[in-house]
Structure 1
Amino acid sequence: MPIVSVSMPEDLVDRLDQFAEEHGYSGRSEVIRDASRELLDEFDDQSLEGRLLMATVTVLFDYQAGDVEAEMMEIRHEFDDIVESNFHTHVGENACLELFVLEGTLEAISTVVGTIRATKDVQTVSYSVLPMDDDLIVE
């Protein structure tokens, strides 16, 4: 098995080690392999292929860390063709919450989510995807 080196903050390494111990993993490598598989399989849902989808993406970040807020605005403009709405608010003392509402294909939505996840200093990204079939839309 190839060895891959990954850089991450010490507190994240500590959390990985604690998680591994609490959940019966053999070590952090097994946790990272499991998480990697989960992430890669995340958008591999054949039932959503070729369908029009609506997604909400919630992003949490420390507004004092880097240029995350500016990066979120750049992402909003870069993907303007599928971003239906974007909302920004402050939560707690130092955190910002960014909410994106997306409409598009699975591939387009996964590209936006991947871009957000790859943004430096983003703390949390969560999302939900719903098919926008005619029978689900009430007029």
Structure 2
Amino acid sequence: MTVVSVSMPDDLVDRIDEFTEEHGYTGRSELLREASRNLLGEFEDKRLEGRELMGIVTVVFDYEGTAVEERMMQLRHEHEDIVASNFHSHVGDHNCMELFILEGSLEEISTFVGRIRATQDTTTVDYSVTPIDSGDLLE
């Protein structure tokens, strides 16, 4: 098995260690392997391939001292072909929330979500995908 070094903030390592212990993982490596498999498998659902989809993406970030809001605007414009709607709101004392409604293929939505996730200083990124074509909806 190949050994991979990963840099991450101390608070994330602490959260990983706590989660590992609380949920009975043998160590960080086991947890990170499972998380990696889950992330890579998220957009490999064969039932979604070749279908027209709606994606809803919610991003929360601290607006003080970060460039996340500007990055969200860039991504909205770079992917204007699939961004059907976008909503911005202040949440709490120091946070903002961006809501994106997307219409496109699995690959297009996957690419957009990946670019959002790769944006530094986001607090959370959550999404759902639903078919909007005339085929049967997922059960």
TM-score range, shorter chain: over 0.9
Unaligned runs of 5+ in 2: none
In angstroms, what is the RMSD of aligned CA positions?
Answer: 1.4
Unaligned runs of 5+ in 1: none
Task: Give the number of the structure whose residues are more often helix, by fraction.
Answer: 1
1:80 maps to amino acid:
E
CA distance in 1, matches of 2:50, 2:64: 40
* Kept after mapping to 2: 8 A contact 1:68/1:120: yes
Identity of aligned residues (%): 64
2:28 maps to amino acid:
R
CA distance in 2, matches of 1:82, 1:31: 33
Could you list the structure 1 runs, at least 4 aligned residues long, displaced by more than 3 angstroms after superposition: none
The answer to whether 1:112 aligns with 2:112 is yes
* Kept after mapping to 2: 8 A contact 1:54/1:129: yes
Q: TM-score, normalised by structure 1?
A: 0.95
Correspondences of 1:29-40 after superposition (within 5 Å):
29-40=29-40
1:71 maps to amino acid:
R
CA distance in 2, matches of 1:115, 1:16: 23
1:131 maps to amino acid:
P
2:110 maps to amino acid:
S
CA distance in 1, matches of 2:58, 2:75: 13
CA distance in 2, matches of 1:65, 1:87: 21
Q: How many residues align?
A: 137
